[in-house]
A and B are shown apart, each in its own frame.
Chain A
Amino acid sequence: MKKIKIFLIIIMTAAIAWSCSEEKLNDESVFKDPDPALLTEFDKWILNNYTYPYNISFKYKMEDIESNMTYDLVPATTQKAIAMAKIIKHLWLEVYDEVAGVDFTRTYIPRVIHLIGSGAYNTNNTFLLGTAEGGLKVTLFRINDLDINNVSIELLSDWYLKTMYHEFAHILHQTKDYPAEFKAISNSDYIGGDWSSNSATLAMAYQLGFVSRYSRQEANEDFVEIIAIYIVRGQANWDSILAQAGTSGAAIINQKLEIIKSYLRNSWNIEIDELRRVFESKASMLNYLDLSNL
């Protein structure tokens, strides 16, 4: 009987071993590089200035599925996309390169930048300037409204750069969290989605120790709004915010700024004042940037 058992075991083992033979993998990748013949000069410029050095996909051609399908949108013109590509590189990527080193930039910068020609308009008379998804992709709207012959750092900051510094700051704190004491400072004044209600005014936000209305959404937004506004809006604007905030409001803003300064210093070895200085020095060279040609 045992022999039979053994015999059966052998058969079973054989049966198991005699399983499907593996198909050989095709040695050709299903992902094809784009046909070089179809690359425009701008495409090549993007490869050399965004993709190879930073591993960023700079999408200036509109892709519906990359955008929010609930909005009706149109693509950016190639001319304006070229201008934006140069502005973003000059006033965002290279600022971090200079302060924290190119390795830092290419490690943490969002992987996709998507340009949209029109605004994303809401029916309540508001529109989106930019969105970011999970530190991976930044979408910028209203590119076609950019007047290449008449750019000002104020307009660029308001429309685009503040958004980019804001989103990038999110990536930093999501990678290394900031001290819990920051969250405690204004804990009772965060009001979530109500920040945009008419009763939550800008003056009120200042006096409560916030630098914008949106800061009142929650602590993370508060945190990144301070970073973005501190860097791109300049000292005069910052002083004006502090003045409008009054003694108690200004004290709270300064307390938050100090936590941010030491967080950036200790966690990232970055001085925020250095970021601002480099940003401003690059902004002062904006007029020397050729926005019309590659």
Chain B
Amino acid sequence: MKLIKNAVYLFVASLFLTQSCVKDEENIFDDTASARGQKAVEEYRQLLVSAENGWYVDYYPELDHKVGGYAMYLKFSSDGTVDVSCEIATNLPARQIETSQFEVFMEQGPILSFSTYNKVMHYFSEPYSTDVNGREGDYEFIIMKTETDEIIIKGKKGGNKMTLRRNTGNLNPDTHLAEIADLVYKLSTYGMFEFVVADNSIGIATVTERTFDMEYADNTNTAKISYAFTADGIKLYEPYTLNGVSMRNFVWDDANERYVCTDQGANAYLKAYFPPDYQIKYDDFLGKWKLNYQPRNSSGWLTADMDTVEFVELKRNSSFMMKCDKMFNFAGITLTFDSRKGTVSINCINTDVHSSGNFIRQCPYDTQAGYIYTSVYNPPDYLGGLIGVWNNDENGERIITFEDNKVWSTYTADGILLRLYNASNTSQGNYSGNIDGKYGFRNLVLTKVD
């Protein structure tokens, strides 16, 4: 028995002896974790401030880069302020520089935060009662990787990765961003592109907010490729890889109307694409047309007439104002443009505000039945109206006639009628205050004047 007892004692004692601790654990770092964090924060701040000519970044709002990026200029100062400007006009004049504060601090990782309101930066994140998420842009970023001339950041909520590129070439931000804006403006008339890789057409890309919606030729798949504009072309959010070839940077070739990939080993381009039923390009609509029409006033239809009208840009690639001082004593008739088909339409739109404060509304008009379509155009609703049909003679005269677009099922529009509406959308009668009391027009035919 004693023997067992002693054995137990010895065993227990030996346990204590074997109990050891790793006494000589070496610190891997010389400093504490918090001290290292502080130091890193200071280094990141120094790096940001060190770019005397600032940084450029393609800023991608919205989760998962659903839409494309916007060129932005950032200049950090040692007093904790940052200047921000962007290629697009938002709630202030385009490329105006706005100053606010920035911070660098540690959470799970180093964070760059635009912590006080900046009209340019926070335009992309501002929520509204009518759009509670706003454009979902980030203004707090995790600093992922830094090099002397490049900082990779990732939006904390949206997760988009963006690269701050040091402005080594000392590009003037106003000039540089204006160059980009000019290219955006110029290229905004192209609604579709054919993607050609190694001389094979791989599909058609439809443009929506700086994103190519790819429909592949073999119908296997679809893809969204988002991009941002550069001064001479576009840069994709991330490389697009096909058959082992990686493509990201494209330069616009104006003569051939195509984006050409400049990446090594790539033989690819995106060529402006016009579907077979495409009519006329936006830019070709601009300028003077002859308009044949038959007007009416309160005493009825008058004899047919002809005047010269002018198509003026209202919203690029989206709408025109058809002006004519002899026909209208207000801005004119608004025509909507479909960039996918190259067609114009006359929809039910408040085209101008009358001096009385009422809206002048152009209503599609069934002149036979004597009915008008009054619901204001608000895509995708209330699309009723007249669509322009081209005579499809590439070489001869360009002639456009108008016919009902078959949205208004009860009646068939063959003209337009001008009517006044007050702010609460109540009709104030026909607009007989127009020149010669003419408030109705039908049998519209446009002929391009060269």
Contacts and interface: CB of A to CB of B under 8 A. Distances in A.
Contact of B122 (A19, A69, A80, A117): A117
Contacts of A73: 125, 127
Given A32-B38, A64-B140, A5 B115 contact: no
A71 B107 CA distance: 20
Interface string B5-32: 0100110110011010101000000001
Interface in B275-293: none
B273 interface: no
Interface string A14-58: 011001110000101011100000101000000000000000000
A15 B17 contact: yes
A72 B17 contact: no
B114 A75 contact: yes
A30 B21 contact: no
Nearest to B131: A121
Nearest to B25: A23
Contacts of A121: 127-129, 132
A240 interface: no
B2 interface: yes
Given A4-B6, A64-B140, A64-B156, A72 B129 contact: no
A11 interface: yes
Given A1-B2, A75-B117, A8 B103 contact: no
B381 to A, nearest CB: 20
A73 B113 CA distance: 13
A12 B103 contact: no
B201 interface: no
A30 B125 contact: no
A8 B2 contact: no
Contacts of B127: 71-74, 118-121
Given A21-B23, A26-B32, A38-B80, A74 B125 contact: yes
A136 B123 CA distance: 31
A22 B125 CA distance: 51
A65 interface: yes
Nearest to A32: B38
* Residue from B10, B107, B114, B117 with most neighbouring chain A CB atoms (10 Å): B117
Contact of B125 (A4, A72, A81): A72
Nearest to B129: A121
A5 B9 contact: yes
B122 A75 contact: yes
Given A11-B17, A32-B38, A74 B126 contact: yes
A78 interface: yes
Contacts of B100: 75, 77-78
A125 interface: yes
Contacts of B116: 60-62, 75-78, 81
Contact of A63 (B16, B33, B35, B115): B115
Interface residues of A, number: 45
B134 interface: yes
B139 interface: yes
A160 B355 CA distance: 41
B34 interface: yes
A123 interface: yes
A212 interface: no
B38 to A, nearest CB: 6
A30 B38 CA distance: 9
B2 A61 contact: no
A122 interface: yes
A139 interface: no
Nearest to A71: B127
Contacts of A38: 79-80
B133 A72 contact: yes
B35 A69 contact: no
A144 interface: yes
B129 A125 contact: yes
A127 interface: yes
Nearest to A38: B80
A20 B21 contact: yes
A31 B33 CA distance: 12
B13 A12 contact: yes
Given A1-B6, A38-B80, A121-B128, A16 B122 contact: no
Interface in B92-149: 100-101, 103, 107, 113-117, 122, 125-129, 132-134, 136, 139-140
Contact of B115 (A21, A62, A72, A123): A62
Contacts of A21: 23
Contacts of A117: 117, 122
B157 interface: yes
Contacts of A26: 32
Contacts of B125: 72-74
A159 to B, nearest CB: 15
B13 A8 contact: yes
12 contacts: A1-B2, A15-B16, A20-B23, A61-B116, A62-B116, A64-B157, A73-B125, A74-B122, A75-B100, A75-B122, A121-B129, A122-B132
Given A30-B35, A62-B115, 13 more contacts: A1-B6, A20-B21, A28-B32, A40-B101, A60-B116, A64-B156, A74-B127, A77-B100, A77-B116, A78-B100, A78-B117, A119-B127, A127-B129
Interface of A: 1, 4-5, 8, 11-12, 15-16, 19-21, 26, 28, 30-32, 38, 40, 60-65, 69, 71-78, 80-81, 117-123, 125, 127, 144
The 10 closest A-B pairs by CB, nearest first: A15-B16, A61-B115, A30-B34, A121-B132, A77-B117, A20-B21, A74-B122, A72-B127, A72-B133, A117-B117
